Amino acid sequence: MDPGSSDSDAERDRDLAGTLRAALPDVSRSAARGDDAFRRARGTAPVDDARSVRSASSSTRVPLPTRAPAPTRRPSPPPHPPASSGSSSGAPTRRPDTVTHVASASFVLGPAIAGSTRILDETGAGGRRRGHGLGPAIAAAAERRRAAELQAARHLHERHVALYAWGRSDAGQLGFGAGGSSPTSSEAAEAYPTPRSVYSLDGRDVTHVAGGARHSVAVTSAGEVYAFGDCSGEGKVLSAPTRLREAVIDPPEVTATTNAMPRVATVACGQRHCAAVTMNGVLLSWGNEEFGQLGQGPPRDSSSKGDTKSLIRRRADASMMPRLVGSGHVKFTSVACGAGHTLALTANGRVFSFGRGAFGALGHGDRLNCDVPRLVDALWGVGVTQIAAGDNHSASLSVSGRVYTWGRGKFGALGHRDVDNCSRPTPVQALDDAGVRCEQIACGGDHTLAIAGGGSGVLLAWGRGSSGPAGTGATADVLTPTIIDRALLGDEKVFQISAGSKHSVAVTEGGCVYTWGARTQGQLGHELGDAGTSEHGVWKLSTGGGAAVSAVAKVAGLPAGRDVLYAVAAGDHTFAAVAPGKGAATTRGRMPWSGPHGWSLRAIELPPILELAESITALDQEVDADECHRIVPELIRAVEDVFSSPGFIVEGFAAPRFAEESESDACTSGLDVTSVEAVYSALCSCGRPEIIAALANASAKLLEALLDALQRAKTDLEDVNDTRVVVAAMIVLWMSPLNGDPALGDTLVPRLVAVTEQLTATGVGDLLIPWLAADIDADVFERRLVSPLMGFLTRSLGKDLARKHHKGRGLVGSIGPSGRTSPGGGMDIFAIRAAQMLGMLHAANEIRRKQTGEPIVPASVFYSQSLSDSLNLREEYMRLIQLDADGLGTGTWGGDRMNSYPACLRPGELVTFCQLPFLLTAEAKGRILQGEANLQKRHEMRMSHLSAIQNGQFSNDLPFGSPDAPFLELVIERGNLLKNALDAVASKTPADLKKPLRIKFKSDGVEEEGVDEGGVTKEFFQLMVREMFKDARTFVEFSEHRSEDKNSSLAPPMFTLDEESRYHWFNPAASVSAESLARFRLFGAALGLAIYNGVCLDVHLPPVAYRRLCGMEPTLVDLCELSPSLGEGLQTLLDYDGDDIEEVFYRDFVVERFDAETGRTLTTELKPGGEHTAVTGGNRKEFVKLYVQHALDKSVSAQFGAFKAGFEQVCGGPALGLFTPTELELLVCGDPEIDMKALERVTKYDGGFDADHRAIRDFWSVVHSLPIADQKRLLFFATGCDRAPVGGLENLPFVVQRSGPDTEHLPTAHTCFNVLLLPEYDCQEKLRDRLAVAIANAEGFGLQ
C-alpha cells in the first residue's frame, strides 16, 4: 500500500497533467499546465504518486496473466492497458486507472502520512490560495487555468464510469477526501444524504465496491484495490482512496517475502476485516483476525522472535497486508464477509467458511470459531452460485435457484417462519412451498433480499423490521419471504440488489435506483435533511433526518441519461456506478450491465460447454489456430469446474421441471440424458487430448468427492436430497465414454465401484435402480453403462488369470462379511464389485420389462463369455448348493418397485457367481445343469447298486426295467407310445426319475435292435411330444365339430393351436379328470426328462409357458404373442381416446367359452357382478388385466398346474433357477436357427477322412446346397434332433467317419454319439442321392 508521497508539488502536478493529456487529448496545452490550481480546486486525488509510476518501469514485478482462469462463469475484467512513458514535457504519463469494487471494514491499512489523503490542498481557512497577492493579470490567468482544469475534470467524469456515493461519511468511507465531494468544497461532513461523485476515482473504471460501517474498498477493471475510511477502527482515517500495492501471496512454509499486489477480481468487507479473490482465483484476506475470520490459522505466536518467517508475517500484520488464505490450490470465484466471519465460493460451487461461529453462522453444525477455511458439508452437493453474509447470518443460492440460509435467526433474518438460530444451511421452505426459484440474493445486517427467477424480476425481502424489509415503511419483523410491491418500484422488474447494515438498494431494468430501510445516516439518498444542512447538502449526524425507516423510494441526484451499472449498500452508506455518458450508451433491458461491472453482485452462470465444444470441432486447427487457443483453455476450465461439482453436474444436465413436480418425478433422476450424451460426444469429438485429460481429472475428483461425502455421512445420511444428488451425479459419470477406454477406464471404474459400494440400500434400491430403469434408453444403456463394466471385468479377469498362472491356482478368495470366501477363486475385489454393478443394471432392465413388457436390452447383452470361461463352474455350483442349504437362496430379480436390492449385490455379500446368473452364458448354465443332473444320476445309481447288493444281486444281472436297476429303463411300444409312457412314468418314484434314462422300442411286439446310448432316448422324446400335440386344434375347429355332432365321444384335445402364432396352449376345455391331468403331468415330466438327459424337443409352447414356469405373472404382451388378434383387440381398447367406449366396444366384465361336454356357450364373470358391469374408460385397464389373467392363468389353472408339477418332479434342483424363461425355452427346444457352416468348422473326421478329402468336400457342398428343411432332416438323422443345442451348432460334437469304399448302401448314423457313417461315394451326385434317401427315412432303429 502506498500511504502517501513526499515528492515536490511540481512532480505530482506533472504526473496529473500527463494523465489528463493521455485521457483528454483535446484539452488545450494552456489548460494542461494549470496543475497547481486544478489540484487545489479538487482538494483530493488518489494517492498514486509519480515516484511509484516512474519506478514501475524499472522495478521487477510479478508477471500477471491477462485472463482469469477461476471465475469462468462470470465475465472477467479486461486487462488494464500498460502505462506509457514519455510526453512532450518529458514527464511520465499514464492511462487512467480503473476501479472495479469498493468495500468497507475497520482495520489498519498503515500509518497515514501527512499529505497522503489530499493532493496539494493549499487552501487556507480564508479561502486564499498560493497565487494570492500577485498582480491582477497573473491572478486572472490563474483563474482561467483553474477553470480549464475543472472543465477537463468534468470531461473525464462524463467519459468514464463514474462512482457516486451517499450516506454516512464520518470516517471518510465515501472516499470524498477532507474537502468533500466537489472540487470546490472544503467542508467536512458526517453524512451526505444525496448522491455525490467520488471524483478521486474518476477514470479508474470501478467494477465493484464493498463496505462496512466505517470503511470501503474499491476494485478496478485493472485489478487494482483502493481502500478508504477508518481502516483501523482507531480514528486513523484514509479519507481518499488509497491503493494497496503489496501482498503476501505465497504460503509461509514456501516463502515469506512480499509481492506486488496481484490483480483482484472482487472484494468483500466485514466489520474489521476484508477478503478478496484475485483474477487467478486466489483468496486473500487482511485486517482483524480476532475470531479467525482471515482464515490464516491461529494467531502468530509473538514469542518466536528469532524466526525470520514469523518476523515477516508480523510485518504483514503490522501493515495489515493482504495475505494468502490456504495453499492457493483451490480456485475461488467470490467471497462474502459478515461482521466476524467469511464465506468463500469456489469455481466448482463449493462453499468454505471461517471466522466467528456464533449463532451457527459458519454452517458447520456447531457454534465454534474456525480459523482456517472449512468446507460447508451441508452444501457440498448443492452447486452454489452465489453467497451472501449478514452480520451473523449467511445465505447461499444454488444453481437450481434454491435459497439456503443459516446463522442467527433473530428478527426472522433466515426466513424460516421463526426466530430460531440454525447452524446448518437449510432451504427457505416458504420459497420451496411456493415453487419459487431465485436468481440473486443479498444479506444485510439482520435482513435478506432475493430476486425471483424465471425473468419475473420480483423482489422478495425478510428480516429485521428496523431495516424496513417490507419496503412500506413498516417496522415489524418479517419472518418469511415477502414480495415488495412492484408499484413501489415504478412497476419495473428488479435485476440487481444489495443490502447494507439496515437499508437496502435495488436497481431496476429501467436504470432507476430505489432504496428503503433505515435513513438516519442519509444512506437512502431520497432527499436533503431538515436540519444542520449546509449549502452543499450535508448532514451532521446529531441532527438525524426525519423518520427512522423509509418506504421504497427512488434515489434522486444521479445523473440523467446515464445507465446505472450497479448499486451497493455498504454499512450505512451507498454506492452507485453509472455508465459513461456521451458516446457510451449501454443497452437497457434484461441485462443492461454486461461486462465486468457488478459481476460480483450476481450469481455465476454455468458455462456453455456444448457450444464451446462444438465451436472447437467446427474450427480448422491450422487456419483458426488463434481462435482455438482462445476457446480451448476456456472449455478446459469449464469442464474442470462443472464435472468436478456434484451440484453443477446434476443441475447442469437437469431436465426442465421447476413448474411442478408430480409423484412420478420421484421415480426419475430428472436428468436430461440426451444432453449428457450430447456433451460427452461433443467433448470427445474435439480431438484435443488436453480436453479429455481435463474431463478425466474432473471426473476422478468428483468421484473422490462423492466417496468422501458418503464415507463422512455413512451413518447419518438421511437427507433424501443429498442422496439424490449423489446418485444422479453418479449416473452422469457412469455414462462417460472415458469408462470404456482401457487406460482411463481402469482408473475411473474402480472409483465408480467404490462410490456404489458406499451407497445405502435405499440409495440403490429406491433411487439408482429405478432411475436407471426409467431414464436410460437402449443405446446408452448398452454402450455407456453395460459395455464399459464388461470391458473392465474382462480385463480384470485377464489379469487374474495371469496372476494365477504365475502363482499357481491355489489361491483362496478373500473373506466377506458373511464369513465365506469371495467367489471366483481369489478374483480381484473390484472385478467382483463391477459384476455386482452389472447386477444393478440387470435389475433395472427387469424393472423396465415389468413395467412395459419389454426390457431395455436383451438378456444376452449381459452375457460375459470371459467370466463363463474363467470360472470353475463346479465350485460355483457347490457354493450355490451350500447357499440353498443355509436357506439364503439366489434372490429375486425385478419387482414392480425395488424398495431394496438383493443382498448378493451388496458389498462382500456375493458368495457365488450363480447368484448373478445373467452374467453366465446359456452354454455355461447348461453345463451347470448337466453337472447337477450327473451328480443326481450318480447318486441314484449308487443307491440302486446298494439296494441290489442288499437283495443279493448285482445290478448288471438285473433284467431290463427292474426297479433296482441303476437306470430308468422303459420299454415302449411304438403303436401305443403315449399310454406306455404314461403308465411307466406313473409307476416310478421321483428318485427313479432322477436315474439315467434308457429306452427300448418295440414294433408289433418285436424289440428293435437299437442300443440306447442316447440316440434312442432322443427319438422317444420326439415321438412322444409329436403324439401329445397331434390332436391339437383351434377352438373354432373343436367348436364346429361339437356343434355338428353333439353325441360325439371325441375328448377335447390337451392343447389348442392358434392359427396366427402357430403356438400350442393348454386347452381350457380339456377335462380335469385324474386321467387327463395325469397326461399333463406326463407332458411336464417329459420336458423335465428331456432337459435332464440333454435332449431338445420340438415343442411349440408360447413364451408365457416358460415365464410361468419361472414364477412370472402373465401380461398383455404374453397374450399378444400367443394370440395376436386377441391381444391387438385389447390393446385397441386401451388406446381408444373417445368418450363412447361403451357404445363402441359394448363389453361387460365377462368371458365366453364353448363347453365341450354340454355343447353350450358358458359365460364366466371376471369379477363379482361382472355380467352387469360395463367396460368404460375408467375401468378398461382393470378389464384388460382381469382378461389376461383369466386367459393365461385361471382358465387353465388345473391343466397348467399338473404340467408344472410333472416338470418340477424331475427338474427341481437349484440349477434350473439360473435360467431365464428365454434360456429355459432354448434348453427345452434348442435353437431353431441352424448354421451348417458353424457345424462344418467344428466337425471332426475319422476312418481316413480329413477336411481336405474329396468326399468331404463333396459332402459339405451338398449339405450347403440343401434347403433348410432338408438340412434339419440331416441333423435329425445324424444326431436325433433337428435343432441346435444351447450355444449353437458350434457347441455340438459331430464326427463324419468313413464307412468303406464306394457302395450302393445308404449312410448310417450313431445318433447316440453324433457320428455320421459316410461311404466314400465316387461322385457328388451319387452322394446327394444316397443322402436324400437316408434323411427321408430317418425314423427307427435297425432294419424296418
According to DSSP, the β-strands at 494-499 and 478-483 are unpaired
Residue 116: which of 210, 7, 22, 266 has the closest Cα? 7
Pair 721, 798: CB distance under 8 Å? no
Location of C-alpha cell 426297479: 963
In angstroms, the CA 523 to CA 463 distance is 19
In angstroms, the CA 576 to CA 512 distance is 11
C-alpha cell recorded at residue 559: 445523473
113: Cβ contacts below 8 Å, ≥ 6 apart: 3, 4, 6
Give the length of the chain. 1344
CA 723 to chain CA centroid, nearest Å: 11
H or E stretch covering 838: helix 829-852
Residue 1156: which of 1029, 1041, 1031 has the closest Cα? 1041
C-alpha cell recorded at residue 1275: 441333423
Catalytic residues: 1312
Residue 96: which of 260, 220, 226 has the closest Cα? 220
CA 246 to chain CA centroid, nearest Å: 43
Location of C-alpha cell 480384470: 796
In angstroms, the CA 1060 to CA 91 distance is 102
Helices (H), 853-957: 865-870, 873-885, 922-950
Pair 313, 254: CB distance under 8 Å? no
Residue 770: which of 662, 843, 672 has the closest Cα? 843
* DSSP-derived secondary structure for 226-279: EEEEESSSSS-EEEEEEE--EEB-S-TTT----EEPPPEEEEEE-SSEEEEEET
In angstroms, the CA 568 to CA 563 distance is 15
To the nearest 10°, the Cα dihedral for 867, 869, 875, 877?
80
- Count Cα atoms within 13 angstroms, Cβ side, for 527: 11
Location of C-alpha cell 427338474: 1211
Location of C-alpha cell 390337451: 1054
774: Cβ contacts below 8 Å, ≥ 6 apart: 667, 668, 669, 848
C-alpha cell recorded at residue 1113: 405373472
* DSSP-derived secondary structure for 167-230: EE-TTSTT---TT-SSTT-----SEEEEEEE-GGGTTS-EEEEEE-SSEEEEEETT--EEEEEE
Pair 1285, 1291: CB distance under 8 Å? yes
In angstroms, the CA 574 to CA 385 distance is 25
In angstroms, the CA 178 to CA 172 distance is 8
In angstroms, the CA 1091 to CA 1096 distance is 7
SS3 573: strand
Query: Exposed e or buried b for every residue in 924-937, given b needs 16+ CB within 10 A?
Result: bbbbbbeebbebbb
C-alpha cell recorded at residue 937: 444320476
Location of C-alpha cell 467367489: 823
Beta bridge pairs of residue 1064: 1057
Pair 110, 1: CB distance under 8 Å? yes
Beta bridge pairs of residue 450: 441, 460
